[in-house]
A and B are shown apart, each in its own frame.
Chain A
Amino acid sequence: MATRAKKSPARSAQTSAIKAPKPIQFTKEQELEAYRHMLLIRRFEEKAGQLYGMGFIGGFCHLYIGQEAVVTGMQMSLKEGDQVITGYRDHGHMLACGMSPRGVMAELTGRRGGLSKGKGGSMHMFSKEKHFYGGHGIVGAQVSLGTGLAFANRYRDNGNVSLAYFGDGAANQGQVYESFNMASLWKLPVIYIIENNRYAMGTSVSRASAETDFSKRGISFNIPGIQVDGMDVRAVNAAGEEAAAWARSGKGPMILEMQTYRYRGHSMSDPAKYRSKDEVQKMRSDHDPIEQVKHRLIENGWSTEDDLKKIDKEVRDIVADAADFAQSDPEPDPSELYTDILL
């Protein structure tokens, strides 16, 4: 018995949280790529917020502002054919996957040129072409589905990995752990990315989670985890590279806890009274993912303010074009009511 008791801690030590890898130093090209992608998400979301305010976007609208480094850094560590799936705060993920800003924005306004022909809305968008599997409005459902994507990769032996994104709130759903168990048991190539933005709607992590270190959530399933500075795109990318290599090599799933922050409320109608203005302001001024890249670009002499303004202008033009399209594109034809229910 004694020997057995000794064995188990060693085993768990082996598989518990891993130290975060050092942020990779980005090249000029990588910094610029990250800057452009994050800025596109930021500007897109600001515009979406504005269109919501004007009544063009209805229902629920969850903005990704503040969390841009997470999807941007992860996407930079993927290869063609790797799949992405997430919850309802999904606009950033879609843009990072390369889905068209026009298509996303027109879906937000419920128009026929939207990615789901106007029938899905903010929370339900997909792209077979870009390997984006939604866009899911049921908290936690995407974790089992994303595990299924990995199951399919293993079944086909195609060398691809799937990325299942979910929040600190979803991390308390039962099916997350059912999925962890199967993914580890079957060594499925899936990366679980917990976007810990500190609040599940209005409930802070400490009020909802018995264990607030989410990188440890896989310990009893022998899934290693890394806690990552989710505001630093280089740190995200470094962790992403490590997790992708791990999963691709047949070692099974890995958990990445991305410590991030959303600047806006949970949805457009959330006044966010559950946190202080100082807290938000401190994150914005000290940890903003875009400002960090901007600072490095200028510090290294890789870009001038004018260069970056030019990028900003290009991004704004893309977003303005998407917004124009989303407002002028017609609503779906009434005949679409009964299409796409069964094949």
Chain B
Amino acid sequence: MPVEILMPALSPTMEEGKLSKWLKKEGDKVTSGDVLAEIETDKATMEVEAVDEGTLGKILVPEGTDNVKVNAVIAVLLADGESADAASAPKAASAEAPAKAEEAPKQEAAAEKPAASVPAAPKAEVAADPDIPEGTEMVSTTVREALRDAMAEEMRRDSNVFIMGEEVAEYQGAYKITQGLLDEFGPRRVVDTPITEHGFAGVGVGAAMTGLRPIVEFMTFNFAMQAIDQIINSAAKTLYMSGGQMGAPMVFRGPSGAAARVAAQHSQCYAAWYSHIPGLKVVMPYSAADAKGLLKAAIRDPNPVIFLENEILYGHSFDVPKLDDFVLPIGKARIHKKGKDVTLVSFGIGMNYTVKAEAELAKMGIDAEIIDLRTIRPMDIPTVIESVKKTGRCVTIEEGYPQSSVGTEIATRVMQQAFDYLDAPILTIAGKDVPMPYAANLEKLALPNVQEIIDAVKAVTYTA
């Protein structure tokens, strides 16, 4: 069987090209890898190499021909013993050529014809918070202790869990979140790394791909910017790119957002950044109980979880139920306080402002409902929608930058799903659209404040 040599597409966008030069003549012996001809694509002059062995039987497209369509037959290659007559093929081949040539457009047509309808995105069912048995002792715990307890409990439970990061072992944690872990679990499972975020994030992802369960601590998420490629391109996408064969069951955790007077490079909230990425879960707790229950869930989760903490909240105390295994569902918001006049949606440190504003609003006779989102991705919009259907008004509060913020995402979805229930535009309170300044007065101005929330609520409730 003579082998047809086709005009190749040698760039992702090429549809036709010029056959500028034949480097082999009819009758020449050809082996795999020999350059047969030169063609001009839409980008460059390229060489056409032989794939098969044989004798160049017939050249069907002479050199100098313009606009040769991709996949047109340009020559015929004969195997040993075949004669050029057997390739009286010219006719057969050229008769076939259009047929072949049509195949390519067919493929294109397939690409152009209206794509099959896009399947609906699956809806994940998220369980409700577990019931806390009556009479359970509540223990006042700092967020710092709650996070440590969560890690220690999970490390006792699963020997595949380990923690790595800067100063996590001998120094006991830059913010003392890993206090005591080295003593209990030893240096094999509590690993001090050099200052090398990009590298150790990659090492963590590689270990996770084999089924280990790393907790990668970033001293702050500001430094994780050096590692963001590994987090997004490797951790978040591998499950999809491998067709479900392997992923990165791991937690990236550390403080995010402004602390106090540490200025632009150390004060940034990453909630919106990571919430953009399919393949990640993003958790940002406020209370110690949520910090504990959600970190335990994050460590058990088979997906990469971004766990955003806050330096200022580390020292805050909250009641944590004294239970053997307190695990909370990722992807479920918590109604922090029920109310009927307005829905306030916040998360993490944003809750600090929100809770204070609510107390002021109560004095003014406004009964606000507070939703603590807890998880940014997947986002529990149904809980927000339910609330807005009741209140008709919504204000979001966060410390991150205003453009493409978590609040704007909530506003979009509420507008799309509960437009008819809204009695006022949704207002979004965020940090100001500036790098964080150092000066104390400017820093205060750059962050959200309680009065802004009160003003926004007054505006959406049309209260004088």
Contact = CB atoms under 8 A, between A and B. Distances in A.
B209 A145 contact: yes
A335 interface: yes
22 contacts: A56-B107, A120-B242, A124-B241, A124-B242, A126-B242, A126-B243, A134-B242, A135-B241, A138-B233, A146-B206, A148-B204, A149-B207, A149-B210, A155-B162, A156-B212, A182-B199, A269-B43, A337-B119, A340-B242, A341-B278, A343-B249, A343-B303
A253 B118 CA distance: 48
A116 B7 CA distance: 30
Contacts of B206: 85, 133, 144-152
A60 B212 CA distance: 32
Given A152-B210, A175-B202, A340 B10 contact: no
A138 B303 CA distance: 21
Interface residues of B, number: 69
B205 A148 contact: yes
Interface in A146-188: 146-152, 155-156, 174-175, 178-179, 181-182, 185
Given A120-B243, A334-B116, A340-B240, A59 B12 contact: yes
Interface in A58-105: 58-60, 65, 83, 85
Contacts of A136: 234
A230 B138 CA distance: 66
Interface in B113-151: 116-119, 121-122, 124
A192 B8 CA distance: 36
Given A127-B245, A152-B206, A178-B196, 6 more contacts: A55-B9, A126-B241, A134-B242, A141-B233, A178-B202, A269-B12
Given A116-B241, A269-B41, A148 B203 contact: yes
Interface stretch (B44-52, B174-182, B383-391): B44-52
B230 A54 contact: no
Interface in A295-333: none
A141 B207 contact: no
A337 B118 contact: yes
B166 to A, nearest CB: 12
Contacts of A181: 194, 196, 199
Interface string B221-255: 00000000110011000111111111101000000
Nearest to A141: B234
Given A144-B201, A145-B234, A128 B33 contact: no
A198 interface: no
A15 to B, nearest CB: 19
Q: Which of A55, A181, A264 has the most CB of B within 10 A?
A: A55
Nearest to A186: B191
B199 A340 contact: no
Contacts of A178: 194, 196, 198-200, 202
B96 to A, nearest CB: 14
Interface of A: 42-43, 46-47, 49-50, 52-56, 58-60, 65, 83, 85, 114-120, 124-128, 133-138, 141, 143-152, 155-156, 174-175, 178-179, 181-182, 185, 263-264, 268-269, 271, 273, 284, 334-335, 337-343
B231 to A, nearest CB: 11
Contacts of A65: 33
Given A53-B8, A141-B234, A182-B193, A149 B118 contact: no
A309 B113 CA distance: 45
Contacts of A264: 49
A126 B204 CA distance: 18
B122 A338 contact: yes
Given A127-B245, A155-B188, A138 B239 contact: no
Given A49-B51, A141-B234, A182-B196, A54 B33 contact: no
Given A46-B51, A155-B162, A340 B204 contact: no
A252 to B, nearest CB: 14
List 6 tightest A-B contacts by C-beta distance, closest first.
Answer: A148-B206, A144-B202, A53-B8, A178-B199, A117-B243, A126-B242
A124 B70 CA distance: 27
Nearest to A144: B202
B381 interface: no
Given A144-B203, A341-B279, A134 B8 contact: no
A19 B6 CA distance: 48
Nearest to B233: A138
Nearest to A146: B206
B416 interface: no
A323 to B, nearest CB: 10
Contacts of B199: 144, 147, 175, 178-179, 181-182
A164 to B, nearest CB: 9
Q: Which of B46, B207, B230, B278 has the most CB of A within 10 A?
A: B207
B437 interface: no
Contacts of B188: 155
A115 B243 contact: yes
B119 A55 contact: no
B441 interface: no
B281 interface: yes
B104 interface: yes
B281 A342 contact: yes
Contacts of B70: 53-55
Q: Which of B196, B201, B302 has the most CB of A within 10 A?
A: B196
Nearest to B232: A138
Given A46-B32, A115-B243, A341-B278, A54 B71 contact: yes
Contact of B9 (A52, A116, A125, A343): A52
B11 interface: yes
Contacts of B245: 116, 126-128
B203 A340 contact: no
A145 B205 contact: yes
Contacts of B247: 343
Given A119-B243, A141-B233, A175-B198, A271 B162 contact: no
